[in-house]
Amino acid sequence: MDLKVTVKNAFNETSKTLIYATGVVLTALALGFGYIYWQKPKKVTRVGVVSQLVIYPMKSGKGISVNTAECPKIGLKFGELKDRHWLVITEDGRQVTGRQEPRLVLVTLVSEGGELCLNGPSMEELRIPLKHPDNPVVTCRVFSDDIQGRDCGDQASLWLTRYLDSGKTFRLVQYESQMSPRRPVEKVPLFSPNEKVVYPDLAPVNLLSEASVADLNTRLERAVTVAQFRPNIVVSGCDAYAEDSWDLIQIGNVQLQRVMSCSRCIFTTVDPDTGVIDRKQPLETLKSYRLCDPSEKELYKSSPLFGQYYSVKRSGIVQVGDPVYIMSF
């Protein structure tokens, strides 16, 4: 009799366990499907087309237009060229940009056959190894952040020093993947704590529409080009300043999340074709109609807003001609 009771009780306990386990599984499935349902965009709207993709291998150097680019979390990449992964510095490690040396915008840095190639007006091409594993790693100052870079050697230093011809010694450094990146959230709380950048001003991706530049040109005596503003992604087929409201966009299989507008500085007054700094236009005109809402004054101060900063929510490939979609949930 005791044996029968024991078996019966064991059977009942097993049944309860199975029922409980089944309930857990069904609940998990329901939550999973619910998550997928709620995460699936309710609306996807085409808003434009990618007309240009531009990588700036050297900070403040000439942009390289490409038809296809990888878009990892840290910014655009084409072969060995990664956006703003090379930096010109002074001997004490401080960044040098087009704000201080406008003629940097005429310097082309490309990779060919495992070599790094530097070109500039009235200069012979310099070819140096792409990697410099035996060279020292130096600490660089990018705005108020410290970040490392591998020195690219004396030849690159002599070339840049001769080209800029300003009585100072300059050096070229390269960021390597094992180095610690900068964290934009330390400057602007709008960024995710996980966001990483190398030598860009603030964000991995800068996007601007052709229509916004066209509208600006109706207000200028001398027209400017998109290159004046150094975006990574240029979009056509939309209204001027439409990008101001594109919070989440998809291009190819890449998803980009808007973080904030791009506040503009005196660097926008450097002519990308001549390397001459005007110090007035188009910055003064932008200030006349593109200042932030008073509620955002603490964030943007008195800088005009032109273009948008994005973080990479999902990595992938982007191409010229890709449609741009805004996504809403």
What's CA 308's distance to the chain center, in Å? 10
**pLDDT at site 41:** 63
**pLDDT at site 38:** 47
Enumerate the β-bridge partners of residue 171: 89
The CATH-assigned architecture of domain 44-328 is Beta Barrel (2.40)
Q: In angstroms, what CA-CA distances link 159 with 81, 88, 174?
A: 20, 12, 16
**pLDDT at site 39:** 55
**pLDDT at site 26:** 47
Q: What angle do CA 57, 193, 291 make, to 5 degrees?
A: 70
**pLDDT at site 27:** 46
Enumerate the β-bridge partners of residue 64: 55
Other C-beta atoms closer than 10 Å to the C-beta of 282 total: 23
Task: Give the phi and the psi of residue 182 in degrees, each rounded to 5.
Answer: -90, 160
Other C-beta atoms closer than 10 Å to the C-beta of 295 total: 7
> pLDDT (tens digit, 0 to 9) for every residue of the chain, 329 residues total?
444 444 345 445 545 544 454 444 444 444 454 444 445 667 999 999 999 999 999 999 999 999 999 999 999 999 999 999 999 999 999 999 999 999 999 999 999 999 999 999 999 999 999 999 999 999 999 999 999 999 999 999 999 999 999 999 999 999 999 999 999 999 999 999 999 999 999 999 999 999 999 999 999 999 999 999 999 999 999 999 999 999 999 999 999 999 999 999 999 999 999 999 999 999 999 999 999 999 999 999 999 999 999 999 999 999 999 999 999 87
Q: What angle do CA 181, 79, 263 make, to 5 degrees?
A: 50
Question: Which residue intervals of 65-192 are DSSP H helices?
Answer: 154-164
Q: How far apart are CA 42 and CA 46, in angstroms?
A: 14
**pLDDT at site 270:** 98
What is the tens place of the pLDDT at every residue in 99-120? 999 999 999 999 999 999 999 9
End-to-end Cα, the chain, rounded Å: 63
**pLDDT at site 329:** 78
* DSSP state, residue 136: P
**pLDDT at site 25:** 43
SS3 assignment for 24-68:
HHHHHHHHHHHHHHHHCCCEEEEEEEEEEEEECCECCCCCEEECE
